[in-house]
Structure 1
């Protein structure tokens, strides 16, 4: 069975969890929170509700993908939509009032507060296996959210000696009443934040079962650890984590490049948001299909807003026969014959892959190359495995880092990794260097107003 993320109604979240002052805590909610997690069923429901927040438009349903792609848009994509908040991200002209920076911060800390409540209430769970799994899921969710937040709201890993630049507030206890909600937590350093991320994900991997149905399991946590370590340039640890996922026996590459985007819960998917036509991140003002697609319908309308167009130079960087070009890029319903769109998101109710096996192969290849090793396979073999699936000729001779990076760009395009790769590889996007303050989101103004212990990022 594959390991997927279930998108669930936020009503569960609101009924079972407390809100911090970031989410406008009300006295009634604090009373509910004090009594809600009183048995194992309630704790289980709170975890399901936390997955629901992850699948919303502020997090993995839209923004954790789209914001990364727009921040690194130069020579890659262009924003043609009417939403000023996304245009500001693409142009790097956002202020501390940017709506996307604000809602992503608030939603992430809402989910973190939920899982902190779960961790605080584990004593009510008497079944040892259930308790272990619930703790693992809570730590997994908290770990990945701290990771996403520190990548967006802090200068990148390596920007200072010792990574002493400000990271994010590490909120590790729940706010279940007004007094707790008024606790002012300052920003930890980036080094401290990554330490907490790795601690949470490592513990999650040790606590979770190998297979947890539609929810996070051991290999989901290990796959995210591979991402974390790669972001740090810790190639030995990234290699070990990615190789564990690849050799687990739970996953295989799909035969075609389109399968994971056209089908649910395929053998390649490690972590996936499950949606359907009635329950998804959005069909008009949110959702990846909403912003990425431009597909005419029989009735004269179209699927998607045609907001994110693919720059032709990037389209032409693919080989003419590459299936990732011929099957996953298309000329859209708007913009003329030269306007391309990604075919990875074409159905409002389709699942959203968050992390998949192809990425693990590319992490293993890059880490092996950097270390001069061949754990699991040679770097060349891993890269050629991905290329063979795309129908392009294998590389020969001495493989270079530049070739692996280019393969990542082609294979993982429009999947939310763009700006993070630019930062970790110390590249630039347009005139912006990898460590430019304008590639860091502002802490929302309302957060600064209610928590004077938080220092704002440079330039805001």
Structure 2
């Protein structure tokens, strides 16, 4: 694979030239080994290599290699987990006292904008791609860009229902490749509404242009991947009709099906190949291999028995929420040190699931219930699809509390939902109210120093 410019170094949207290694030093704007994107991306193969690099960047630990979901859960799961970790930056999240120098926050921001920059490089050179492949390449680049903007908005901005999203600030929107430092290299933060709109625009284009071909060995974003994330966004916004519509596109496509048992959705302990295929339930998952890096969910949830640090154990009271006979209990067990663990992430090279079919059933059930509609199916039918797979008796009727309970138990420790759902539902997060400033990431101090147009979040 050719070494394109974005693999070597990128210039952040905020005016610092950064290497992709662990040491981030300010360099000359045109170092001797600098290769401009115009020189590096000349052919269709170069564009496709850049797209592969965008997926690779998205799969790193600080982003969709696990931390984008781990961090919000640590901030909001104090009632169900015990944290014994020694990483102080993660301890700050558990204690809900994040500092402006938190390196997990800083590295997430950096990698998120590197994903954005590489996607922008793909889109800026899309005319080099043949007509046969252009839509697919464009759709995938916009999927990744839309996905990362949504998560940037959720973590660095107030929740959609917390104040006015048209005035609350989120993150800068940068839609062109950053290659040199210029007057446009210091973008201000866009509003929450603007960043959501950009994510929706990108994902809508991805839905229209990405392929609908899906099989277990297809690891790229499909049209249905975009529909699924759109459903998630619309639920977060309270746009329930659109959420149900997008969820139905995925469910009714026939491209995915719930696996037979809950545990089968997750790669089991003691399996240690260098690669796993997606299951029939995975609408989009990040592939983790020995060559690529680590699954950070395994790092912190998995015990030493399964290649992890075991920093997170569960409070036994969490299991009291499950009904007797619930098959989902099969993924909660004591390890060799007697600690209660979640086994979903017990394989070092297990894929990181970004979104799976079960979530779409739950989104549609909640959206239809709130509206009193039955787009695609009735709420009770969708909830019973989840319960039947969990070996539980179907319900005759369902209410909102039951829907939300099934969502919590089905998706526990996935997706950062302990925080995101608490904000969406305006529930307390530990000792804090859902809209507390401490539940929003600070803008990293390094970015504040580099970009004169950034303003810090309240409380930092």
Distance 1:144 1:304, change over 3 A: same
Per-residue deviation, 1:22: 4.3
Distance 1:10 1:331, change over 3 A: farther
Q: Is the 8 A contact 1:72 1:90 kept in 2?
A: yes
Per-residue deviation, 1:74: 2.4
Q: Which secondary structure does the structure 1 equivalent of 2:324 belong to?
A: coil
Asked if residue 104 in structure 1 is aligned to residue 117 in structure 2, the reply is: no
Distance 1:53 1:74, change over 3 A: same
Distance 1:12 1:355, change over 3 A: farther
Q: Is the 8 A contact 1:70 1:78 kept in 2?
A: no
For the residues of structure 2 that align with 1:237 and 1:11, how far apart are their CA atoms?
A: 41
For the residues of structure 2 that align with 1:96 and 1:157, how far apart are their CA atoms?
A: 23
Asked if residue 412 in structure 1 is aligned to residue 411 in structure 2, the reply is: yes
- Larger deviation: 436-445 or 315-324? 315-324
For the residues of structure 1 that align with 2:448 and 2:221, how far apart are their CA atoms?
A: 33
For the residues of structure 1 that align with 2:316 and 2:453, how far apart are their CA atoms?
A: 46
Q: Deviations along 1:24-81, whole A, 9 cap, x unmatched? A: 2652365333311111111100000000011100101121110121011121222211
Q: Is the 8 A contact 2:4 2:46 kept in 1?
A: no
Q: Is the 8 A contact 2:282 2:356 kept in 1?
A: yes
For the residues of structure 2 that align with 1:49 and 1:60, how far apart are their CA atoms?
A: 14
Runs (5+) with no aligned partner, structure 2: 19-26, 268-275
Per-residue deviation, 1:224: 0.5
Aligned with 1:197 (options 199, 206, 209): 199
Per-residue deviation, 1:163: 3.6
Per-residue deviation, 1:94: 1.1
Q: Deviations along 1:306-345, whole A, 9 cap, x unmatched? A: 11111222122112321111x11011233x3xx3111100
Aligned with 1:175 (options 174, 178, 193): 178
Aligned with 1:123 (options 119, 123, 127): 127
Per-residue deviation, 1:391: 1.4
Asked if residue 236 in structure 1 is aligned to residue 241 in structure 2, the reply is: yes
Distance 1:276 1:46, change over 3 A: same
Look up the match of 1:208. Answer: 210
Q: Is the 8 A contact 1:118 1:135 kept in 2?
A: yes
**How many positions carry a matched residue from both structures?**
436
- Larger deviation: 218-227 or 376-385? 376-385
Q: Deviations along 1:345-385, whole A, 9 cap, x unmatched? A: 01111222111000000001001101101122110111111
Look up the match of 1:299. Answer: none
For the residues of structure 1 that align with 2:257 and 2:96, how far apart are their CA atoms?
A: 39
For the residues of structure 2 that align with 1:440 and 1:184, how far apart are their CA atoms?
A: 22
Per-residue deviation, 1:13: 7.5
Distance 1:279 1:16, change over 3 A: closer
Look up the match of 2:271. Answer: none
Look up the match of 1:436. Answer: 436
- Larger deviation: 211-220 or 136-145? 211-220
Q: Is the 8 A contact 1:115 1:138 kept in 2?
A: yes
Q: Is the 8 A contact 1:122 1:131 kept in 2?
A: yes
Look up the match of 2:351. Answer: 351
Alignment of 1:252-263 (within 5 A): 252-262=257-267
Q: Which secondary structure does the structure 2 equivalent of 1:409 belong to?
A: helix
- Larger deviation: 357-366 or 207-216? 207-216
Look up the match of 1:268. Answer: 281
Per-residue deviation, 1:411: 0.3
Q: Is the 8 A contact 1:309 1:341 kept in 2?
A: yes
Q: Which secondary structure does the structure 2 equivalent of 1:369 belong to?
A: helix
Per-residue deviation, 1:279: 3.1
Q: Is the 8 A contact 2:200 2:230 kept in 1?
A: yes
Per-residue deviation, 1:103: 0.4
Look up the match of 2:22. Answer: none
Q: Deviations along 1:191-248, whole A, 9 cap, x unmatched? A: 1111111111001111112126321111010000000100000000000000000000
For the residues of structure 2 that align with 1:13 and 1:91, how far apart are their CA atoms?
A: 40
For the residues of structure 1 that align with 2:195 and 2:451, how far apart are their CA atoms?
A: 19
Look up the match of 1:224. Answer: 229
Aligned with 2:136 (options 133, 136, 139): 133
Look up the match of 2:79. Answer: 75
Distance 1:188 1:116, change over 3 A: same
Asked if residue 290 in structure 1 is aligned to residue 299 in structure 2, the reply is: yes
RMSD: 1.9
Q: Is the 8 A contact 1:274 1:351 kept in 2?
A: yes
